Amino acid sequence: MEVNEKQKELIERIGVFYERKGMQPLVGKIIGLLLVHEQAEAAFDEIIETLGVSKSAVSNALTFLQAKNYVIYTSKLGERKRYFTLKSTDWKADFEQELEHIADIQRFLEEVLAIRPGETQEFNDRLRDFCDFLEFFRNEIPSLFERFKNQRG
Amino acid sequence: MEVNEKQKELIERIGVFYERKGMQPLVGKIIGLLLVHEQAEAAFDEIIETLGVSKSAVSNALTFLQAKNYVIYTSKLGERKRYFTLKSTDWKADFEQELEHIADIQRFLEEVLAIRPGETQEFNDRLRDFCDFLEFFRNEIPSLFERFKNQRG
DNA sequence: AATTTTGTTCTCTTTTTACAGAACCAACAA
DNA sequence: TTGTTGGTTCTGTAAAAAGAGAACAAAATT
């Protein structure tokens, strides 16, 4: 696929976004490419050409993306090529899971609170308050999803 | 400060957590140390001793943490030492800002949608739905904070 | 059977990260 | 004024990340 300037820019930006989330650069760019791709799917060699990278790099990145359940491939009848596409079946589910990392923070902050001495009262109180908020927030998530569903019924 | 086993373990875990968010290892460990520290503040040399790292590394990490508004230092009268502490004034505000990165996703996904051709309808529809959800979610945040405040009166 | 297509895996190199250590500097103390 | 304390900045380096390129493999094609 020929990518125009706007598409290039988006791939770049999306790439940087995912890179900052800890993924390796090429992985982010592939996500970007699959998002802007006109067919919403790309063949192995197409990725290589469009992004100008090596086979090995693409192979490894795709293995990672598939392991993480971000990407799947489909094959067309009579063709041996694989067409890679974003497993978009439920981005909201991914998002919900992403929010779960809040639970991690809460968990270790609770442990911190449990072992803190009473001397630093103000600090402890603020920490307590924040923990409570995280708890509250976490509990609100399901109903948030619920409300979104209803609101558009 | 002498750190016991539990404290060590927590520092380690908190460190890993922040590392996965893209910060460098030492930065995460310092956050951990300041969280479990009995006075909730630590002097420069104390950080060095407790974590067993070099002055330069600590200096750089603290510069970063201060730039990011995670940490401030206070000095005690008559002392030249700086005591570094987590700027805990409002963790919720930090959290709220953290949620703002959702806006980033939404922004580039909207741009993606704008340039996508109409052929891949199902893909586009799902993307649209997800964008709408992000919009909804983002708008709900303020009222979420509001409800938390009220709920505890 | 030989060749081509579509990838995968292995090895090597380049680049970046994360930190150590020494030199440095400003403030204060002796 | 010289030394000490508290920290910063500069320079070097070990280790890890990211990817190139070649060798390899399995399936399909000729």
Span A92-108, mean pLDDT?
Answer: 86
Distances (CA, A) of A1 to B2, B10, B18: 61, 49, 38
Q: What is the pLDDT of residue B90?
A: 74
With a cut of 70, list the residues of chain B below it in pLDDT. Answer: 153
pLDDT at A88 over 90: no
Of the residues B41, B144, B145, B147, the best mutation for testing chain A's interface (the one with the most A CB atoms within 10 Å of its CB) is: B144
Q: Tokens 């270790």 map to which residue?
A: A108
A53/chain B closest Cα distance in angstroms: 23
> Between residues B94 and A71, which one has the greater pLDDT?
A71
pLDDT at A90 over 80: no
Q: What is the pLDDT of residue A61?
A: 98
Q: What is the pLDDT of residue A101?
A: 84
Q: What is the pLDDT of residue A91?
A: 84
Q: What is the pLDDT of residue B109?
A: 97
pLDDT at A153 over 80: no
Q: What is the pLDDT of residue A57?
A: 98
Do B71 and B89 touch, CB atoms closer than 8 A?
no
3-state secondary structure labels for all residues of A13-43: HHHHHHHHCCCCHHHHHHHHHHHHCCCCCEE
Of A115, A133, A147, the CB nearest to B148: A133
